[in-house]
Amino acid sequence: MEKILNVKDLNISFHTYAGEVKAVRGVSFDLHKGETLAVVGESGCGKTVTSKSLMRLLPTPPAEIKEGSAIEFGSTDILKLSERELRKIRGGEISMIFQDPMTSLNPTMKVGDQIMESLRIHRKLSKREAREEAIRMLRVVNIPNPEKRIDEYPHQFSGGMRQRAMIAIALSCNPKILIADEPTTALDVTIQAQIMELIKELQDEFGTAVILVTHDLGVVADVADRIQVMYAGKIVETGTREDIFYNPQHPYTWALLKSVPTLETENKAQLYSLQGTPPDLIKPPVGCAFAARCEYCMPVCREAEPEEINCSDTQGVSCWLKHSMAPKVENPITGGI
Ligand code: SF4
């Protein structure tokens, strides 16, 4: 599959009164045409900061993308573009949808005008063509009666319809990449399923690659081709959906999976709960950032950071347990050693 995005050694800090928060630390990954890459982890693990940086949406300052980082979109390094060049990519080539469409849609502008604005800027359509296309896009995202709805304001739409309208705006210019940051968190479960199904259908139709940022492994299990697990600003495990759900290797991935309810879970008290909190990223710990919460922690874990080890062609993990000298432990998900 054609590679369309290549993120190399991304390091992002936030300058705060308390000190420099190293929010993203040496993140590298790529994205292929038409695939869905899910980025999962707890709040504060760096997944949203990483995804926003792909469109240079972080306010600088307080954010700072460090020297040596690169975000290659085709042959273009997004980090080196001028604001003017960037505007052509934002919305046109790479689009984003957010958790709460009410904060992203302009409450004072009709929904149709917001879709048309994007079409006129990026696809240079006339007003009449843009209106026709906006109606078509509202129909594509299953908004009923789009000829009437196009002239309504966001507050006249339900939560699910607002999210659909956001998707219509995001996909109206046929972007190569759609970044969906917790796109269903604010919605109830039936609407969540419909929105994810819609994103998948549109992805198949338009061939768009999707970066799905979420803490919800249930959503990921349905739609992701590949998954990367982030903890304390780093990618700790990466693999296909099958690798991560059926053969996970990192103790943090094990903890995430153990805390997902299954059909056998009868009450919440049975669910696994990961104790402790992520480390302070003003002073990240020496060694493995997960050490303080890891039940498999060994002395070496507190002394040196584990390097990424390839478990297969598709799966990589950063954990000292994968070292040839490490003791063998039972994988709590597979039951294997
Ligand atoms: Fe746990 Fe050590 Fe692996 Fe970190 S490197 S996840 S502390 S076993």
Task: Name the residue with the closest Cα to ligand 1, atom 7.
Answer: 291
Helix (H) or strand (E) holding 214: strand 209-214
Q: Assign 263 a pLDDT band (cuts: 50, 70, 90).
A: low
Q: Assign 267 a pLDDT band (cuts: 50, 70, 90).
A: low
Peptide bond into 61 cis (omega under 30): yes
Query: C-alpha angle with apex 305: 240 to 313, nearest 5 degrees?
Result: 25
Least confident among 72-76, 146-150, 158-162: 158-162
Task: Quote the pLDDT of residue 173.
Answer: 80
Beta strand segments in 223-270, E = 226-231, 234-240
Would you say 7 and 28 are in contact if contact means Cβ atoms under 8 Å apart? yes
Task: Quote the pLDDT of residue 269.
Answer: 60
Tokens representing residue 50 in the block:
């990483």
SS3 207: coil
Say which amino acid occupies 163. Answer: Q
Is any atom of ligand 1 closer than 6 Å to the C-beta of 251? yes
Query: CA 237, CA 317: separation in Å to the nearest integer?
Result: 4
Pocket probe for ligand 1: among 230, 286, 290, 295, the residue whose CB has the most ligand atoms within 8 Å is 290
Q: Assign 210 a pLDDT band (cuts: 50, 70, 90).
A: very high
Is any atom of ligand 1 closer than 6 Å to the C-beta of 274? no
Query: CA 297, CA 180: separation in Å to the nearest integer?
Result: 34
Is any atom of ligand 1 closer than 6 Å to the C-beta of 294? yes
Task: Quote the pLDDT of residue 327.
Answer: 86
Helices within the chain (DSSP H only): 47-53, 83-89, 101-104, 111-122, 127-140, 146-149, 159-171, 189-206, 217-223, 241-246, 251-258
Task: Quote the pLDDT of residue 265.
Answer: 63
In angstroms, what is the span from residue 152 Cα to ligand 1's centroid? 53
The structure tokens 């968190």 sit at 185
Tokens representing residue 337 in the block:
């050693």
The residue with greater pLDDT, 102 or 160, is 160
Cβ-based neighbour number of residue 68 at 10 Å: 10
Q: Which atom of ligand 1 is nearest the CA belonging to 294?
A: 1
pLDDT (mean) for 210-237? 91
In this model, does residue 41 exceed pLDDT 80? yes
Compute, in degrees rounded to 10, the torsion defined by CA atoms 229, 233, 236, 241.
Answer: 20
Query: pLDDT (tens digit, 9 = 90+) per residue, 299-322?
Result: 999 999 999 999 999 999 999 999
